[in-house]
Structure formats: C-alpha cells, structure tokens
Amino acid sequence: MDDELAISVRGLRKAYGDNVAVAGVDLDVRRGEVFALLGPNGAGKTTTVEILEGYRRRDAGEVTVLGADPAHPDAGWRSRVGIVLQGTGEFDELTVAEVIRHFSGFYPDADDPDKVIERVGLAGKAKARTHTLSGGQKRRLDVALGIIGRPELLFLDEPTTGFDPEARREFWELIRDLAAAGTTIVLTTHYLDEAESLADRVGVIAGGRLVEVAAPNRLGNRQEALATVSWRTPDGTPESAQSATPTALVAELAARYGGEVPGLTVTRPTLEDVYLTMIGHAR
Amino acid sequence: MTTTTKPATPVTATRGRRPGAGALALRQGRLEITQFLRSRESVVFTMGFPIIMILIFASIFGGTIGGGVKFTQYFITGMIATGLMTVSFQNLGIWIPIERDRGVLKRYRGTPMPKWVWFAGKVIMVVAIGIAETVLLLAVAVALFDLDLPGTAGKWFTFGWVAVLGVTACTLCGIAISSLARTARSGSAVVTPVALVLQFISGVFFVFTDLPTWMQQVAALFPLKWMCQGLRAVFLPESFGAQEPGGSFELGRVALVLAVWCVLGLVLCLTTFRWTTKRDG
C-alpha cells in the first residue's frame, strides 16, 4: 500500500443485471490532490464514487481508500471521509444550525458548527427550517454536513448543481481553501469550467471506462494540438489554417497584409472540444 | 498546482468532544422527538386520533356494559392499545420509508454514527410519545367520562408490562414493515390498511366477544388483540375475565404472544432492513 495515495483502484467492475455500469476502472488519487471525474449521465461516475464511499458493493477489482477497503467501512474510517451525495437527505422540520450541530456530534474531531455555517455562507439562515431553503442553499447545507467532521478525504457528487454563478464562485473558493489545508477532494461534475478551475487532474469517464486522466490543460494532448489560425481575406472571405507553428504563420500573414490581419484569431481546442471528442469516441 | 500533503492544522480543534454512546442515543432521541413534534400531521394524526375516538365512543356509548361498569372502562383499553400501535407501528412504518426515500438514512450511513444509535433514537421517540399520549388519553377519560384508574399496584404493573411488550413488538414490526414500501408515498398505503383491519378485528371498536368466532381467531394471531386483552385485565373488574374467549384474561398467554412477536419483529428487522432504496443499490 502506498501512503502517498488516498485512493487506489484496480480493475473495478460493477453491473446492475445486464447493464454494466463500471467496466474496469483503474484510478489513483494522491493525498492532497483535487481530482475531478467528468462524464456524461450514465457514464458510471456516481456508481464509481459510491463504491469508493462505501455505499455500494463492487463485483470485481481492488479498491483502497485511505488505506482500507471501503466495502467494510468502520466508524474510524467513516470519520475521516466526508461525503456530499447527489440527492439531498432533508430534515424538513429542523433548522440549519440544529442539523449541523447534530451531525457534528458523530465525529471525534468535528469542526465548530458555527464556523462551518459561516464558511458555507449560511450564517443568515442558521435559524431557518431547512425546508425554507432554496435549492442552492440546501446544497450548501449538504456541503456543510460533508465537511463538519474535518475529513481527510471529501467526496462531492455534482456539488454545484442548482447554484447561480456567484454561488458557484464562492463554492470554488471554499474547495480551494479545503484543498490548501490538505484535504483530498474527489468531485464529479458536468461543468467543464468547474473541473478546469478546481482540479489538479481530471479523469474522463464514459461507458463505464476511464478514457483519460490528465491535468486539465493536458487533457487530450490539448497543449500539443494544432492551433487554428483564422482571418479574413481582403474581399471578406473567411480563411483558416491549422498549424503547429501559429506564431510563424501570423508573422507571415502580417507581412502579407502589411500590418493588421483582418479578423485574426488563434485558438486551440477548448476543454469542451477535447471532452466531447473523447466521450464521442467512447460511445 | 501542488500535490504535496499539507497536514490539516487543527487551529480550533475540539478533540474528544464526541459524546459517549449513551449520550449519542439520547441526542438522537431528542432530535427524533423534535422532528415529530414539529410535524403537525404527526402530532394530529398520532396523538389526536385516539383522543378523538374516545371522545366519540364515550359520548355514543354512555351506558354500562353490565355490573355497573361503564362502557368507557372497556373502550379505553382499545384506545390505549390503538394509540400505542399508532405511535410505534404506524408512525415508523409511514415515516421510515419517507426518510429512506429522501436519503436521510443514506446520509446517516455516511457518518461514523453507530447504526444502533439511529434505532435507539426511534425507540426513545416512540416511548416518549407513547407515554405522553397514554397519559393524555387517561386524563381526558378521567376528566370527562369518570374513568376509574387501576386501583392496585398489581394492576399498574400489568399495565406497565403489557404496554412495554406491546410497544416493543409494534416498534419492531413497524421498522420491519417499512422495508416493504418502495417509495416514500407507499409507506402509508402499506401500513394503514393493516392497522385499520387489526383495529376492527381486535376489539378496539367493538366488544371483542361480539365479533364472529373466526374473526376472533384471526385477530388472536396478531399483537393488538392481546394488548387490548391485557389492558382489559387492568381496567375491568376481575370477574369480567370469565367473559373473555379463553374464560380468563390469560395474562400468561398475553405475555407469550407479545414476546413471540417481539422476536419475530426483531428477526425481520435484522434480515430485511434497508438503509437505501432499491434503485439506490
């Protein structure tokens, strides 16, 4: 067992009847890393994550999470793992503060409930019954319950679904804070910008397989990909060329047009382009 | 970005603050009671129903059942038994599927909370609400309908053990039956008809011995009939035992049947309880 690894997965498989949800996933997540699992609905993200969280049993493969097999979670292991599930388990009749305080009692080294409420931006709602919260606020409560035990490893399953852009930015700050304090974070998301701005590495999962694992800016060899240079000819016709040496091409164009090149753009594939190509191939 | 591990610095750490096992159970019980009392439907349906029923019954049947004993003396037993069954069997059978469907149970499973603490919380809630409801029911019956409370310590003792065994059996069966409901909504569809039929055939709404014999025999398979019978030994004079189907209040058999249901309920709980819904793996 490697102490540097928070999560180690080899040959993970899980099927529901004839439907193979996870078809042989290998995955390592280092301690202190922010790892994003990206993939379309039904790709096997949630199944994979719920096996790592100790909720689901696997059919085959070796899985180690914080040095233990999550198929047999004990209280000590549970207290080191924080979980933010996709579906929210609601406590309609209780207030935000009551729920968070109650859950803090389950952990040996819990954080201060008031501090956590503040941290997730629910200070103004501490005394509100949870059923009066908006969707985004309920999600913040979920996050609060995920981090109240000061976990070493935090799972977040589509954490910012239902957030407005401002709330999403605030949430990203919170994740960066936690990561800076040494928390290992595994999140699944649909949002490419979220993966790109938070994750040290991104794993793209499609059809139950991990298609690629790389730093966001290296995914699909994005850095080495040909750049597309586009411009307009003097009569206004759009023109474009793919080039491994776009700077040289731009210099050449500048010389040809004697200065400004009309409508000039230089682009490389975005994360979204790369991602869509990948999950397209996997289908 | 760096991937080196920086240890979390426990600046405001509150180590070792986690309550002990007993305290955890009490906290869980208090949380359950708070949730129950704040849910208006639960309070009205669970606590109010038996009281409304005794008001109606005692008003309709104002007379005596013979030997100068008021009808109230008979019906209070059915109402107490029904109340105890409602707060345990129905309450849990309806609410646990809702909590399971909403993911509340799944969320608890993701914490280091020992499993038994959650069950203990439910039991504490059932016992507390059950006691409060029974006291309220007795108070209403004494104040409005001149109910005679048990006169001897022995009868109070019988009251105690019949209630404890009955509530235990019904609680375990309520937890067990909660696994039959596939969705939040179906809990009430599963539990309510069972409870209603049992109430009709077990002598809650009618004098038990007026029921057809086959119905009495079916009822004798289930706990509610025995809870009512045990409570009749508490609230009716000794001489009324002769009118029971068995020729006496058969307290030994009451204890035996209820204990068997406790064991059966426990086995069902241990073998069938689910923390997540079926679609949730």
Domains in chain B: boundaries: 23-276
- Using the Cβ of B98 and the Cβ atoms of chain A, whether some distance falls under 8 Å is answered with no
Residue of B nearest to A33 (CA): B3
Report pLDDT digits (tens) over B24-41.
Answer: 999 999 999 999 999 888
Cα B123 to Cα A92, B4, B168, B214, B236, distances in angstroms: 21, 47, 8, 34, 30
Whether the predicted interface score ipTM is above 0.95: no
Closest CA to A209 of A78, A17, A23: A23
Q: Residues B147, B138, B173, CA angle at the centre, nearest 5°?
A: 125
Share of chain A above pLDDT 90, in %: 52
Is pLDDT at A144 greater than 80 in this prediction?
yes
Share of chain A above pLDDT 70, in %: 97
Residues B101 and B183: their CA atoms lie apart, in Å, by 6
Average pLDDT over residues B106-131: 93
Instruction: Please tell me the total count of domains within chain A.
Output: 2
- By DSSP bridging, strand A201-206 and strand A184-189 are unpaired
Report pLDDT digits (tens) over A75-133.
Answer: 999 999 999 988 766 788 899 999 999 999 999 999 999 999 999 989 999 999 999 99
Residue of B nearest to A180 (CA): B6
What CATH number has the domain bearing residue A53? Answer: 3.40.50.300
The predicted pLDDT at position B5 comes to 44
By Cβ distance, the residue of B8, B31, B35 closest to A183 is: B8
Residues A148 and A130: their CA atoms lie apart, in Å, by 17
Residues B170 and B175: their CA atoms lie apart, in Å, by 9
Sign of the torsion formed by the C-alpha atoms of A58, A64, A69 and A75 = negative
The predicted pLDDT at position B238 comes to 86
Min Cα–Cα distance to chain B from A125, Å: 18
- Using the Cβ of B48 and the Cβ atoms of chain A, whether some distance falls under 8 Å is answered with no
Residues 6+ apart with CB under 8 A from B160: none
Q: Are residues A207 and A243 in the same domain?
A: no
Classify residue A149: in a domain, yes or no: yes
Per-residue DSSP letter, B87: I
Is pLDDT at B91 greater than 80 in this prediction?
yes
Q: Are residues A133 and A179 in the same domain?
A: yes
What's the domain range around A261?
226-267
The predicted pLDDT at position B9 comes to 42
What is the value of pTM for the model shown? 0.84
- Using the Cβ of B38 and the Cβ atoms of chain A, whether some distance falls under 8 Å is answered with yes
Q: Are residues A141 and A109 in the same domain?
A: yes
Classify residue A276: in a domain, yes or no: no
The predicted pLDDT at position B2 comes to 41
Range list of β-strands (E), B32-119 = 64-66, 69-70
Q: Are residues B160 and B231 in contact, defined by beta-carbon separation less than 8 angstroms?
A: no
Closest CA to B178 of B88, B261, B259: B88
List of chain A residues whose C-beta atoms are within 8 Å of the C-beta of residue B6: 32, 180-182
Average pLDDT over residues A31-42: 91
Range list of β-strands (E), chain A = 5-16, 19-30, 34-38, 60-65, 81-84, 153-157, 184-189, 201-206, 209-214, 227-232, 238-243, 265-267
What is the DSSP secondary-structure string of A6-26? EEEEEEEEEEETTEEEEEEEE
Crossing angle for the helix pair B71-85 and B49-60, nearest 10 degrees? Answer: 160
Phi, psi values for residue A182, rounded to 5°: 100, 0
Residues 6+ apart with CB under 8 A from A282: A206, A207, A209, A211
Closest CA to B87 of B29, B156, B167: B167
The predicted pLDDT at position B26 comes to 95
The token pair at A120 is 């997730």
Q: Are residues A179 and A247 in the same domain?
A: no
* Mean of the per-residue pLDDT values of chain B: 87
The predicted pLDDT at position B65 comes to 80
Min Cα–Cα distance to chain A from B180, Å: 20
Q: Is A80 exposed, middle or buried (0-12, 13-18, 19+ CB in 10 A)?
A: buried
Q: Are residues A201 and A262 in the same domain?
A: no
Whether residues B19 and A105 touch (CB distance < 8 A) is answered with yes
By Cβ distance, the residue of B3, B16, B31 closest to A32 is: B3
The predicted pLDDT at position B7 comes to 43
Whether residues A85 and B107 touch (CB distance < 8 A) is answered with yes
Per-residue DSSP letter, A129: B
Q: Which amino acid is at A254?
A: A
Q: Are residues A232 and A107 in the same domain?
A: no
- Using the Cβ of B35 and the Cβ atoms of chain A, whether some distance falls under 8 Å is answered with yes
Residues B63 and B68: their CA atoms lie apart, in Å, by 9
3-class secondary-structure state, position A34: strand
The band of A283, judged by pLDDT with boundaries at 50, 70 and 90, is low
Is pLDDT at B64 greater than 90 in this prediction?
no
By Cβ distance, the residue of B2, B19, B102 closest to A89 is: B102
The token pair at A93 is 């009749």
The predicted pLDDT at position A219 comes to 80
Residues B37 and A259: their CA atoms lie apart, in Å, by 78
* Mean of the per-residue pLDDT values of chain A: 89
- Using the Cβ of B153 and the Cβ atoms of chain A, whether some distance falls under 8 Å is answered with no
Q: Are residues A84 and A43 in the same domain?
A: yes
Whether residues B4 and A33 touch (CB distance < 8 A) is answered with no
Residue of A nearest to B276 (CA): A55
Q: Are residues A239 and A175 in the same domain?
A: no
Whether residues B111 and A88 touch (CB distance < 8 A) is answered with no
Phi, psi values for residue A180, rounded to 5°: -65, -30
Residues A9 and A48: their CA atoms lie apart, in Å, by 10
The token pair at B76 is 């209070």
Residue of A nearest to B102 (CA): A89
Q: Are residues A237 and A208 in the same domain?
A: no
CA B245, chain centre distance (Å): 25
Residues B153 and B161: their CA atoms lie apart, in Å, by 12
Q: Are residues A246 and A121 in the same domain?
A: no
Per-residue DSSP letter, A96: H
Is pLDDT at A12 greater than 80 in this prediction?
yes
Report pLDDT digits (tens) over A145-193.
Answer: 999 999 999 999 988 877 888 888 988 999 999 999 999 999 998 888 8
Residue bearing tokens 């979390």: B8
Classify residue A279: in a domain, yes or no: no
